[in-house]
A and B are shown apart, each in its own frame.
Chain A
């Protein structure tokens, strides 16, 4: 079973610097869409990469969609050599993004966040205007549908 709450709480317990984006951020703003994963933009400082590797180890992260049995380890070296990781974990799908189109990296997005209580812990959530901009920049049909809803939501807040 996917536990979005478990993933968010795990990231918080590990002191991982990250910003909730995507569908989970949209839900925080009031979107009725059901999302099936947690998407975050993470800080790529050495210390944060270490925290990510240590914290997520307990949830057995693996590359989503990859054949089983590959020698994949989400350690600091792997995090350093990549940028965006779409993972499956014991708690469900987690997308660790070092950068998003239309938004940039953690340090670029930090000024465009709101603090919110998500599943009992305080989290940084991408603000609605920036969330809309990143979804427009992603350019997929499903993102345009989501943008339509988010723009209407923004008008109705």
Chain B
């Protein structure tokens, strides 16, 4: 049986990408874990579930309002 291969790259500080062949989903996930900001996770875990959900809605609203403002600003500069 053929294994599944996924190409995943990592970059050095100069931006050079090195491709790595991985043979399992868990290996890919392990690579992604290196870039996760766990301080954000810890911040969320300090909140209750209701607090997390209201924070999510607030963040989404803020993002959408910002997008609207950017769109308006772009329209005015044209």
Chain B nearest CB from A155 CB (Å) reads: 9
Q: Is the CB of B40 within 8 A of A136?
A: no
Give the residue of B33, B43, B57, B64 whose beta carbon is less than 8 angstroms from that of A152: B33
A5 within 8 A of B: yes
A3 within 8 A of B: yes
Which applies to chain B's interface (DSSP): helix, strand, loop or mixed?
helix
Cα distance A119–B48 in the bound complex, in angstroms: 12
Cα distance A74–B54 in the bound complex, in angstroms: 29
| Interface-side segment among B13-21, B24-32, B69-77 | B24-32
Q: Is the CB of B25 within 8 A of A144?
A: yes
For B57, list chain A residues within 8 Å (CB). Answer: 3-5, 119
Chain B nearest CB from A146 CB (Å) reads: 9
Q: Is the CB of B64 within 8 A of A2?
A: yes
A30 within 8 A of B: yes
Chain B nearest CB from A39 CB (Å) reads: 13
Give the residue of A3, A27, A145, A151 whose beta carbon is less than 8 angstroms from that of B53: A27
Cα distance A145–B36 in the bound complex, in angstroms: 9
A147 within 8 A of B: yes
Cα distance A24–B60 in the bound complex, in angstroms: 12
On chain A, which size bracket covers the interface? Answer: 20 to 34
Chain A nearest CB from B45 CB (Å) reads: 5
Most buried by B among A36, A136, A145: A145
Closest chain B residue to A148, Cβ basis: B32
Give the residue of A27, A116, A120, A152 whose beta carbon is less than 8 angstroms from that of B56: A27
A144 and B36 contact, Cβ closer than 8 Å, known pairs A27-B53, A149-B41, A156-B45 = no
Q: Is the CB of A152 within 8 A of B38?
A: yes
- Ranked 4 nearest A-B pairs via Cβ: A148-B32, A32-B40, A30-B44, A148-B33
14 A/B residue pairs, CB under 8 Å, sorted by A? A3-B57, A27-B44, A27-B52, A30-B47, A32-B43, A118-B49, A119-B57, A144-B25, A144-B29, A145-B32, A148-B33, A149-B41, A153-B41, A153-B45
A residues lining the B interface (CB < 8 Å)? 1-5, 24, 27-28, 30-32, 34-36, 116-120, 136, 139, 144-145, 147-149, 151-153, 156-157
